[in-house]
Structure 1
Amino acid sequence: MGNNVNVEEIFGQNVFTLAKMRERLPKNVYKEVVNVTEHGGELSKESADVVANAMKEWAVEHGATHYTHWFQPLTGITAEKHDSFVGSADKDGRMLTSFSGKELIKGEPDASSFPSGGLRATFEARGYTTWDITSPAFLKESGAGVTLCIPTAFCSYTGEALDKKTPLLRSMEAINREALRIVRLFGNTTATKVNVSVGPEQEYFLVDWDKSMKREDLIFTGRTLFGAQPPKGQEMEDHYFGVIRERVGEFMKDLNVELWKLGVPDKTQHNEVAPGQHELAPVYETANIAVDHNQIIMETMKRVAEHHHMRCLLHEKPFAGVNGSGKHDNWSLCTDDGINLLDPGDTPNKNVQFLFVLACILKAVDTHADLLRQSASDVGNDHRLGANEAPPAIISVFLGEQLEDVVRQLIETGVAKSSKKGGKLKTGVSTLPEFEKDATDRNRTSPFAFTGNKFEFRMVGSSDSMASSNTTLNTIVAEAFCEAADKLEKAKNFDEAVHDLIKEYLTDHQRIIFNGDGYSDAWVEEAKRRGLPNIASTIEAADTLTTKKAIELFENFGVYTRTELESRKEIIFESYAKTINIEALTMIDMASKQIIPAVMKYSGRLAKDVNEITNAGVDASVQLQELKDIQSNLSLMKKALDELKKLEAKAAKIDDQRELAFFYKDKVRPVMAALREPADALEMLVDKKDWPFPTYADLLFEG
């Protein structure tokens, strides 16, 4: 991995880019590939064979022996089945490698072995992967050697999407089609395509590998299920943007190299708020590529961490009492002739196209706030959303002082005559330069915040795929654009119609705008008064997928069918129940086999000490009180443990997945909390050397 790195030399060296295709393909085939990539369609069989052979030759030159269709099933992570390039032997017995256009375009994994929500029964195994030509193939270096990874979509034998990529691609086509209608109505453009641009910031924790492997909860669930607070957490705010420890810095250096080789434009790295927490942010890319790259980032983080004898934790809440991890989805719309539709310019009050796009987005977010909330739901994120570290579970939009003022003028008078300016930032130090500051502050408590020329959707969980949030966001905005375009295309006076629609949308949907403190209790009450949905958990959010409104939305734009939506809802219930079940069983195991035996052993020794001290005629009241405190917490722990075992036995008899999911939420999780509380109290009472696994202090400060 080397110390001296030339980014320009290594960037994309393990990616079969268009530049490499230009070098290796006949001109006519290359042009066909570019045309299909940019405008859709299918490669001819002959061209597919040429591309496949060139891809194989390039991969073999770099040491590849196998290829795989790399896809994103509904597990939220990636999947791959490796096939070698081994072909037939010639007459002299020499092996001839082969890779055909058919093998490039189509694969056949077992569809029934992935989550399908009832779309595939166990005996109905056939599914297909199909090459996504818009996302470049790449080489993965691992213990298995070098493998050519071909990004693909994954669908069932009957045609339903069984993955995250297919609906995302559908939604990108929908928003491109409707956004083009808008920009062409406004004129002054040569655009033939509108791309969704996405930049996902990725938060994560690093802990020592050996210490993590001594904790069953980290092994089986990715988060700590027990753990008392260390004397110091994040109170001093000294970790955020602090000096990066050498061990972590070495990990980051190697991570950067691996990502750059894979064409991931990894740009920013820093310490996050919580001890042991860090963040990586790439340069923005087209949504499909950004989603693929984020999966590559998460996989590479885990692999490189192991090389440094560390473990990368991507769970949204691996440690109680300190900030959890999220993934900020920075989203914007850009035409292929270089115009960012979300750039307000120097005078946003005069930028009619921007104001129109903004009004449509506000309408979309308000109309489908429930679906947007659902798109960021997962089991781990339930621990994070609404805590004082992440956006609340209530969707609202932050516009900032400048745009809020413009919106107010438009609502009140129909005309925005001015917009606030940022002015000069003056530090009062003569040697520091003055510079133009932004026209508004930022709001870290807002789940959907305008940040200059994009929206930042801050609710997505750190372990989750970016695909679902962007699929939903693309689709709801496509609907708003479509409805607006339908009206404008029929208008006799375009300028008046645009003006009226902007005022109408802003007036009707102003309730979604909130620039205040999203963490405050007052906002929860205010949001309720405004009629904004407050959906507390993942499984409660699941029902939003199959409302009449949702089904019509997704079917109208060809993003999901009713069947696909129903299957995803079923998968959410299934996944939730399985996750909490594993956590509950892990707690039972740790409590029964580690914590209680260790505490009993320690308390037995302490009782012996109390007897010896008392027999010596010395006051043993301190030791006796500590022994009583231990026994009191031990009794509480045993009571909760027995109750948890009973609930697990009841859960095993529930067949309905929705009922089971809510049983785990409403019955099991409270008892898990009741088991944890006395266990964490005991950690503070028992001698550290007797505690059976590493503590928070060990993991967060000694890793």
Structure 2
Amino acid sequence: MGKDRVSQEYGSLLFTDAVMQERLPKPTYKELRQVIDDGKPLDLDIANEVAHAMKEWALEKGATHFAHWFQPLTGITSEKHDSFLTPINDGTILMSFSGKELVQGEPDASSFPSGGLRATFEARGYTAWDPTSPAFIKDEVLCIPTAFVSYTGEALDKKTPLLRSQVALETQAKRVLALFGRKPKRVFTTIGPEQEYFLVREEDYERRPDLIYCGRTLFGCEPVKGQELEEHYFGAIRPTVNDFMKEVDDELWKLGVPVKTKHNEVAPSQHELAPIFEQGSLAIDDNLLTMEKLKLMATRHGLACLEHEKPFEYVNGSGKHNNWSICADGKNLLEPGAVPSENLQFLVFLAALVAAVDEHADLLRASVASAGNDHRLGANEAPPAIISVFLGDQLHTIVEALINKEEPEVHEAERMDLGVPALPDLLRDSTDRNRTSPFAFTGNKFEFRMCGSQQNLSDPNVVLNTAVAEQCDRFATKLEGKTGDEFTNLALRWVRHTLRDHQRVLFEGNGYSEEWEVEAERRGLPNLKTTPDALPCMVKPENVAFYERYHVLDAAEIHARYVSKAEQYAKLLNIEANTMVYMARHLYLPALSEYSGDLASTVATKAEIGIEAPVEKGLVRVLTDGIAAVHDSADELERLNAATQLLDDPQEQCDAYRDTVLPAMDVLRTAVDGMEKVCGADYWPVPSYNEMLFWV
């Protein structure tokens, strides 16, 4: 019964290829497939037929409105709902939806981040249908995935540069494959985003202004128990959480999101949801849908879903692993084969990736930079801020042999006898996993593990796609016209030299160790520890030229993204600083004053009957000193934040937040958390970490 239900409901709210075949005339369907598969321009007559079929299907599913669903520079999604309703003169209505409405929308662009590309009075912006991502129905609205650009054509969103980078990569990869005698119809990336998140009780969430306004706790002393017993990872799932997960699965399956794996993560109350791989931009669309559904579904179960990178101190934060590969007509180009050392095509793409990551490590780091991710990266829970590549034993041995012009050893897959006749022998993988590596090969893909849990994955994939396209371009340009043994020899030489020139980025050890930080500096690898450190690389002349060369972003669009990310960093920290001051003055200080006052009354009462009460007296003194420290720290934070807000230059403001405001926030937190340790639980105004992380 379960299988039949899932089979029937999977993709039922998605305008799939099967639905298009069923509802469109054959010539129209064929034309649309050429638009999707080959990039053929879309004819308006075809758009009208598609729009009619889409509308009829949506009405049958209960939809009443349509919306262009797009991804502004905020990092989340946006939508404006318009009904299908069209009044006519006799007082009745028609339900209509035209090809023009499908293909192009016009949302107000002035209120979205633009990094200076648009002034407030320059409001016009356009959304353009992305036919490579299927339309879907959400809350009785037909949602049409779109790109979002300004009146003058600059990209105001995350999707447009992603699609451009995919075109660049496909173009250059096809040139490489042509040299190997292959002419694939399509070359595309695949992505499998692993989404981590926390669940807390909604009643606790509603009593924490920091969670409501900032997505993370700005205060909270260390819980009596953290994750040290390691019993939560892959542990039995709480019934309430399991019910929530089941509903999330059902809702996402209806939307055609292929979520497959779910489990408890390392930290208490932390969980993970992972899908099957999909074509790159579609996987990112589906991840954004997943993030939205996780938040909405949680409230139906009395829960709040926290997608911030670091909702709680003292336990692991949340990431989003970007599992990346590249395929030609569905065949994975990063599949090593039985003997990787003899698979020249694989070695070429492997070398291209290593070089891409090394040459553009700064842009990769900037692509995942955010105020939230700064709290996570570099701790013993996430990769360091230094980007390196892990290949695993087998590939590392092959690469070293190539660099040294030696014959690599070939090892057959090893079987492990577990010593119990009833248990099967296990086949050992060719490589172990290195959880400390930011960019690790995991069998037939690379896992970029620095991405933050709440970010849109378009940013790192734009960098990765364009960087690999650049390396493919170099290989093809160097070897085009070469055939036979000459091509083979020159290709192998290119692989050897490329790996040799970028050997510094290869690291198989512990990325958490202090020794690696010293070694990375010796190798000349960038170590951009914070967002203000990382962002300036976005506008380096060589990086601007890199994007412009492959028509992914122009100079104005790049500068806009730099300004937008800098502004977002500063705005988030301004909100956090204001929230801390508010909580200190309106919650913590009154609670501490009440508790210390009650204790002082107790001391006075005991004194009247001749009891000294030295413990209570000492505690009153501690509370009095603590109240002064909280008061003074809040005043100082408010002062520094106000001064930082006056700075006009985006980079100068970011630097000031890093250097002055964040340390002041730490001082205030230390003062408040110290008081939480001595204040009576009945007086404390917000739920503690003990309550929030270990609810039942």
Per the normalisation by structure 2, the TM-score is: 0.98
Match of 1:298 in 2: 291
Classify the secondary structure of the residue corresponding to 1:114. coil
After TM superposition, give the deviation of residue 434 of structure 1 in Å. 0.6
* Residue equivalent to 2:23: 24
* Residue 100 (structure 2) pairs with residue 106 (structure 1): no
Q: CA deviation at 1:245?
A: 0.1
CA contact 1:140–1:148 (8 Å) conserved in 2: yes
Instruction: Say if 2:620 is the partner of 1:627.
Output: yes
Partner of residue 36, structure 2: 37
**Does the 8 Å contact 1:110/1:126 carry over to 2?**
yes
**Aligned-partner Cα distance in 2 for 1:428–1:607:** 68
Equivalent position amino acid for 2:230 in 1: E
Residue in structure 2 matched with residue 480 of structure 1 by the alignment:
471
| 3-state SS, counterpart of residue 111 of structure 1 | coil
2:392 maps to 400
Displacement of 1:629 in angstroms is 2.1
Which secondary structure state, in structure 1, belongs to the residue aligned with residue 325 of structure 2? strand
2:128 corresponds in structure 1 to 130
What SS does structure 2 have at the residue aligned with 1:112? coil
Could you say what the CA RMSD is over the residues aligned between the two structures, in angstroms?
1.3
Q: Which amino acid aligns with 1:206?
A: L
Aligned partners of 1:358, 1:98: CA distance in 2, in Å? 51
Aligned to 1:60: 59
Is the contact made by 1:405 and 1:419 (CA closer than 8 Å) also made in structure 2?
A: no
**Cα distance per residue 1:307-352 (max 9 Å; x no partner):** 112111000000011000000000001111x321101112111111
The structural deviation recorded for 1:634 is: 2.0
Of 419, 423, 430, the match for 1:428? 419
Q: 1: distance between equivalents of 2:26 and 2:522? A: 62
Q: Tell me the CA shift for residue 617 of structure 1.
A: 3.0
On the 8 A contact 2:389/2:437 being kept in 1, the answer is yes
Question: For residues 333 and 613 of structure 1, what CA distance do their matches in structure 2 show?
Answer: 76
2:431–2:442 Cα contact (<8 Å) kept? no
Following superposition, the deviation at residue 490 of structure 1 comes to 4.4
C-alpha distance in 2 between matches for 1:628 and 1:348: 70
**1:382-404 deviation per Cα after TM superposition (whole angstroms, max 9, x unaligned):** 10000110000000000001111
Distance 2:562 2:583 in 1: 32
TM superposition shift of 1:651: 2.5
Distance 2:513 2:13 in 1: 48
* Separation in structure 2 between the aligned mates of residue 355 and residue 223 of structure 1, nearest angstrom: 43
1:254 aligns with 2:252: no
User: Could you tell me whether the CA contact under 8 Å between 2:384 and 2:438 is conserved in 1?
Assistant: yes
Moved more, 542-551 or 107-116: 542-551
- Please, which of 147, 150, 160 is the counterpart of residue 144 of structure 2? 150
Which position in structure 1 is the counterpart of 2:440? Answer: 449
Show the counterpart of 2:116.
118
- Asked if the contact 1:227/1:695 (under 8 Å) is kept, the reply is yes
**Cα deviations across residues 396-447 of structure 1 (Å, max 9, x unaligned)?**
000001111111111112x433234441122222221112111221100000
Match for residue 221 of structure 2?
A: 228
AA in 2 matched with 1:383: H
**2: CA distance, partners of 1:651 / 1:527:** 33
- The gaps in structure 1 that reach 5 residues or longer are none
Q: Which of 168, 173, 180 is the equivalent residue of 1:179?
A: 173
Name the CA distance, whole Å, in 1 between partners of 2:605 and 2:410.
80
Partner of 2:45: 46
Shift of 1:608: 1.6
Tell whether the 8 Å contact from 1:270 to 1:279 is kept in structure 2 after alignment: yes
1:22-43 Cα shifts (integer Å, max 9, x gaps): 0000000000011110010222
- The equivalent of 1:581 in structure 2 is 574
Which letter does structure 1 place at the counterpart of 2:30? K
Task: Measure the CA separation in 1 of the matches of 2:175 and 2:112.
Answer: 38
Counterpart residue number, 1:458: 449
Contact 2:191–2:280 under 8 Å retained in 1: yes
Cα distance per residue 1:95-129 (max 9 Å; x no partner): 11110000000000111110000000000000000
Change (3 A) 1:411 1:442: same
Question: Which residue among 680, 691, 700 is the counterpart of 2:693?
Answer: 700
- Cα deviation, residue 5, structure 1: 7.1
In the TM superposition, what whole-angstrom CA distance separates every residue of 1:610-638 from its partner, at most 9, and x where no partner exists? Answer: 22333433342222222222222222222
Contact kept in structure 2, 1:14 and 1:139, CA below 8 Å: yes
User: 1:179 & 1:395 partners in 2: Cα distance?
Assistant: 24
Corresponding residue for residue 549 of structure 2: 556
Match of 1:430, as an amino acid? P
Once the two structures are aligned, what percentage of the paired residues are identical? 52
**Which amino acid is 1:483 matched to?**
R
Note if contact 1:112-1:126 (Cα within 8 Å) is conserved in structure 2: yes
- 1:418 equivalent in structure 2: 409
The 8 Å contact of residues 411 and 506 in structure 1, kept in 2 or not, is answered as: yes
Q: Which runs of 5+ in 2 are unaligned?
A: none
Superposed displacement of residue 560, structure 1? 0.4
> For 1:66 and 1:660, how far apart are their aligned partners in 2?
42
Question: What secondary structure is seen at the aligned counterpart in 1 of 2:633?
Answer: helix
C-alpha distance in structure 2 between counterparts of 1:652 and 1:177, whole Å: 45
- Residue type of the partner of 1:342? L
2:231 counterpart SS class = coil
**Preserved CA contact (<8 Å) 1:539 1:572:** no
1:416–1:38 Cα change, 3 Å: farther
Q: Secondary structure at the match of 2:326?
A: strand
Paired with 1:419 and 1:560, the residues of 2 have a C-alpha distance of 43
In structure 1, how many angstroms separate the alpha carbons of the residues matched to 2:214 and 2:543?
A: 32
2:362 is the alignment partner of 1:363: no
Residue 649 of structure 1 deviates from its aligned partner by: 2.5
The aligned length equals: 694
Q: CA deviation at 1:3?
A: 8.5
For 2:331, what is the secondary structure of its paired residue? coil
The answer on whether the counterparts of 1:202 and 1:281 sit within 8 Å (CA) in structure 2 is yes
How many Å separate the matches in 2 of 1:682 and 1:586? 18
Aligned with 1:514 (options 499, 507, 520): 507
Q: Within the alignment, does 1:213 sit opposite 2:206 as a pair?
A: yes
2:83 aligned partner:
84
**1:283–1:4: structure 2 CA closer, same or farther, 3 Å change rule?**
closer
CA contact (8 A) 2:174 2:183 kept: no
Alignment correspondent of 1:539? 532
Say if 1:577 and 1:664, in contact at 8 Å, map to a contact too. yes
Asked whether 1:164 is paired with 2:163, we answer: no
Residue 90 of structure 1: CA displacement? 5.6
The alignment status of 1:469 with 2:460, answered yes or no, reads yes
Q: Aligned partners of 1:329 and 1:653: how far apart in 2?
A: 37
Give yes or no for contact 1:81–1:109 (8 Å, CA) kept in 2: yes
**Cα deviation digits, residues 500-538 of structure 1 (max 9, x gap):** 101101111011000100001110000000000000111
Verify the 8 A CA contact 1:422 1:440 in the aligned structure 2. Answer: no
SS at 2:110's partner residue? helix
Q: Secondary structure at the match of 2:424?
A: coil
Tell me if structure 2 keeps the 8 A contact 1:241–1:270: yes
1:652 aligns with 2:654: no
Query: 1:89 corresponds to which letter in structure 2?
Result: I
User: Is the CA contact 2:23–2:53 (under 8 Å) kept in the aligned structure 1?
Assistant: yes
Once the two structures are overlaid, the 10-residue window that deviates more, 625-634 or 221-230, is 625-634
Q: Distance in 1 between matches of 2:628 and 2:375?
A: 27
State the match for 1:567 in structure 2: 560
Given that 1:220 and 1:586 are in contact with CA atoms closer than 8 Å, whether structure 2 keeps it comes out as yes
1:541 Cα deviation from its structure 2 partner: 1.1
Q: Supply the distance in 1 between the matched residues of 2:2 and 2:170 (Cα, whole angstroms).
A: 43
